[in-house]
Structure 1
Amino acid sequence: MSGQDGHTRADLDVIREMGTGLSNVGKAFEGLENLSGKYGEDFGHGGLADKFEEFAENWEISREKLAEEVKALAKIAKGAAKAYEDIDHQLAEAIRGSKGSKKSPRGR
């Protein structure tokens, strides 16, 4: 958001695209494979396998939380773009309405 003369300007396309991009990131996180319990034997060492399992369990919890937060941000961005667009349309209608209702000074 930027503007001149103290006015705020929001690029609605960028905000909308951000919402779509965040939705895609959330879907990607949801689609990631669960690592827990899959590679224990591949490590060849029980201690290393245990550490990886601990990491995988923590990652699963963190990934789920992150996916939820990213989806919430996507929803906020999409909602913000819609709200800004609605306000812009309402302001445009109000301006058009006020211009149409003014009487011409010649009509006196």
Structure 2
Amino acid sequence: MADHVTVDVGLLRETARRLGEISTSLGSAAADGRRDRAAVGHAALAAALEESVGNWRVHRERLVGSVDAHRKMAAGAADAYESLERQLTDALGQPDASSPPDGSARPPSSTSSGASEGPR
């Protein structure tokens, strides 16, 4: 199991933006079987086309709802990660410049120059 998680918040935000575009595009894609009915000519084929358009309308609305829910989840995840990062940064404060990056404590220097005196 990994000991840390890396999240690309920018990618989450881009994903949310693109899902919004898909949702908008699907939502504005009008399908009107009545207009096409006259162009088909055959009554049975026209009825089948109109039924298909009606089914597509229902499924498209469900699809738009699902895509929009995923957009909200991606945006919410990005917000949550940014908020968590701010909280952790605030709780930990700015890292001390004298502390090593691994968080271990350095022993105090025994000489003022920091150089070893060697054996006597």
Please confirm whether the aligned pair reaches a TM-score higher than 0.5, indicating the same fold: yes
How far has the Cα of 1:92 moved from its partner?
Answer: 1.4
Distance 1:90 1:18 in 2: 24
Amino acid at match of 1:68: G
2:102 alignment partner in structure 1: none
Q: 2:66 matched to which residue of 1?
A: 69
AA partner of residue 93 (structure 2): R
| Equivalent residue number for residue 33 of structure 1 | 30
Tell me the CA shift for residue 35 of structure 1. Answer: 2.0
- 1:14 equivalent in structure 2: 11
Matched AA of 2:41 = G
Aligned to 1:84: 81
2:21 aligns with: 24
CA drift of 1:36 comes to 2.9
Unaligned runs of 5+ in 1: 100-104
Identity of aligned residues (%): 31
Question: Which runs of at least 4 in structure 1 moved beyond 6 Å after TM superposition?
Answer: none
Shift of 1:98: 7.9
2:111 alignment counterpart? none
- When normalised by structure 1's length, the TM-score is 0.81
Residue of structure 2 in register with 1:95 after alignment: 92
Q: CA deviation digits over 1:3-44, x for unaligned, max 9?
A: xx5211110000011011111111111111132322101112
How far apart are the structure 1 equivalents of 2:84 and 2:67?
Answer: 26
What is aligned with 1:42?
A: 39
Matched residue SS, 1:37: helix
- State the structure with more CA Rg: 2
SS in 2 for 1:38: helix
* Corresponding position of 2:53: 56
